Structure 1
Amino acid sequence: MIPTLIRDALCYDGNGHVLLSSALYFDNYNKVELTQGQVRHERAGPSRQSSIEALHTDMVVSLRCHCPGILLRWTERSRHWQPPDIVHIVERMGSFVTPVGFKGSENQHVE
């Protein structure tokens, strides 16, 4: 079973492959109804901003993904920042991707 939010964001790449469109996914997510009194603000990257009176929120949609190789390369790379304990916490959390493409790319909608 595929959640509706994901299913409705699937598209073809013209070569017979099915892709998850970051633009369609975010647009579908943005259609989720607001609570009473909630005001939606302009999109900021992967963030959906809204507010209710003085409470301002940034909701970032993410999808859990299984890509141990990418995560391992990230944890093993040389760095001056983040401290090792934070790197270990992130490694234990696993991998997530956000539905946002490279700004200005002609393929931004599916990146």
Structure 2
Amino acid sequence: MTGIDTAAFFGAVLKTIASTRNHSTDQGEYDSGVLEPARRIRETEKEAGDRPLTSAEAEQVLGLLETTLRTKRTPDEEREYYLQYIEKVAGISRASLSVSGW
């Protein structure tokens, strides 16, 4: 994938996970739907290092982010705000990925 700022992308995704309020009270759901996807995102970040992400990797990370936001029961408007923020800072377009229909 060309044009994506890998460091900014992961920074924005992880910031989004950390800064969204959790509206769920189920700890087991939080563990599997927030902590596990966040761990997988950090692993992908480590594996990518400084190289550009592929479209498949970016789609996977955004899918994991979507899992965390749904698990936290983040309102649609707030999810859209964060996705637009990620697009802006990372130079990525959801329209060019398979996740444009969130």
Name the structure with the higher strand share: 1
- TM over 0.5, shorter chain: no
Structure number with greater Rg is 1
Structure with bigger RCO (C-alpha 8 Å, 6+ apart)? 2
Q: Which has the higher helix share?
A: 2
